C-alpha cells in the first residue's frame, strides 16, 4: 500500500479508537439506513476473512461475527464509526452452507448495493493471499469496473504464507489490476491474527471519512 505519513496513521488510529457501533442488518435495499455518511464496504469470497478483519481493525473481538463456516454473514451488516463513516460487512460471494434460494437472495442484494449505493466511497475487495485472485473475484471486479465504483484489493491472511510467496502473489495481483479502470492502484496486505498492515488500512479508511471536526 502507499506509504502513509505519521499524521495519516494517527488519524486512522484515532478514528477506530473511538466509538464503533453495530447499527443494523439490512436484508433488502429498502432496509438500508439513509446514506447520511460516507460508506466503505468489505466484499470477498466466503471465508476470506471479512468479519475477522473488521474485528481486528476496530479492536473489538465480537463486533462482526467471524466463523469458519462459509456464508455466516447473510445480511448487509452496518457499523457506525464515530459518526463519521459507515462500514459495511457484505455477505460472501461463492460457497455457503445455505439453500440456493437464500444464496441467490444475498447475491442479488449485494450486487444491487454495489451497483447503486449513494455515498459508497470504496469497496475493499478481500483476496486470500494463499489462493490469489479467483474467477469469482474477477466477476466482481468486472461489475465494479462497469459501474465505476472504486475498489481496492486487500490481501488477507498474510501470516499464513511465506514472505517469498507473498511477494510473488502481491506482484502478480498488482499487475492484474494495473489496467482495470476502477481499481485503486495500491494493494493492502493484512493479517487479522498478527495485526500486520492494519495501521495502514485504518489510515486509508480514515481518509474517506468525514473530518473529525465536521458538523454532524
Of 91-100, 112-121, 146-155, which range is least confident? Answer: 91-100
Assess if residue 59 is contained within a domain.
yes
**Does residue 42 lie in a domain region?**
yes
Q: What is the pLDDT of residue 61?
A: 83
Q: What is the mean pLDDT of the chain?
A: 89
Is 115 a residue whose pLDDT tops 90?
A: no
Domain tally, the chain: 1
Q: In terms of C-beta density within 10 A (0-12 exposed, 13-18 middle, 19 or more buried), how is residue 3 classed? A: exposed
Which of the pair, 75 or 200, is modelled with greater confidence? 200
Q: What is the pLDDT at residue 75?
A: 85
Separation of alpha carbons 169 and 130, rounded Å: 8
Instruction: Return the pLDDT at 70.
Output: 42
Instruction: Report yes or no on 70 lying in a domain.
Output: yes
Residues 6+ apart with CB under 8 A from 18: 81, 82
Q: Are 208 and 40 in contact (CB under 8 A)?
A: yes
- The rounded percent of the chain whose pLDDT value lies above 70 is 88
| pLDDT greater than 60 at residue 89 | yes
Q: What pLDDT is recorded for position 100?
A: 58
pLDDT at 1: 73
215 domain-assigned: no
Residue 51's nearest CA partner among 31, 29, 22 is 22
Q: What is the pLDDT of residue 91?
A: 84
Q: Is 117 within the bounds of a domain?
A: yes
- pLDDT tens-digit readout, 142-187: 999 999 999 999 999 999 999 999 999 999 999 999 999 999 999 9
Rounded to whole angstroms, the Cα distance separating 97 from 70 reads: 6
Q: What is the mean pLDDT of residues 111-138?
A: 94
Per the structure, the complete domain to which residue 62 belongs is given by 6-206
Residue 1 placed within a domain: no
* Residue 27 placed within a domain: yes
Residue 162 lies in a domain: yes
The whole-number pLDDT of residue 68 equals: 43
CATH number where 80 lies: 3.40.50.300
Average pLDDT over residues 187-203: 97
Span 43-74, pLDDT tens digits: 998 889 998 999 999 998 888 864 344 444 56
Amino acid at each position: 500500500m502507499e506509504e502513509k505519513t505519521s499524521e495519516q496513521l494517527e488519524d486512522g488510529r484515532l478514528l477506530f479508537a473511538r466509538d464503533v457501533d453495530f447499527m443494523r442488518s439490512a436484508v433488502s435495499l429498502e432496509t438500508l439506513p439513509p446514506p447520511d455518511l460516507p460508506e466503505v464496504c468489505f466484499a470477498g469470497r466466503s471465508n476470506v476473512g471479512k468479519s475477522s478483519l473488521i474485528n481486528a481493525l476496530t479492536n473489538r473481538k465480537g463486533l462482526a461475527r467471524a466463523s469458519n463456516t462459509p456464508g455466516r454473514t447473510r445480511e448487509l451488516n452496518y457499523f457506525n464509526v464515530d459518526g463519521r463513516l459507515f462500514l459495511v460487512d457484505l455477505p460472501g460471494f461463492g460457497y455457503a452452507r445455505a439453500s440456493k434460494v437464500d444464496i441467490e437472495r444475498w447475491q442479488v442484494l449485494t450486487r444491487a448495493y454495489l451497483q447503486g449505493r449513494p455515498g459508497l466511497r470504496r469497496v475493499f475487495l478481500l483476496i486470500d493471499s494463499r489462493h490469489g485472485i479467483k474467477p469469482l473475484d474477477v466477476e466482481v471486479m468486472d461489475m465494479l469496473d462497469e459501474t465505476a465504483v472504486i475498489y481496492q484489493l486487500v490481501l488477507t491472511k498474510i501470516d499464513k504464507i511465506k514472505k517469498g510467496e507473498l511477494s510473488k502473489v502481491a506482484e502478480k495481483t498488482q499487475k492484474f489490476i494495473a489496467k482495470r479502470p476502477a481499481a485503486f492502484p495500491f494493494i493492502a496486505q493484512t493479517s487479522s491474527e498478527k495485526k500486520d498492515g492494519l495501521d495502514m488500512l485504518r489510515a486509508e479508511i480514515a481518509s474517506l471519512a468525514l473530518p473529525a471536526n465536521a458538523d454532524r
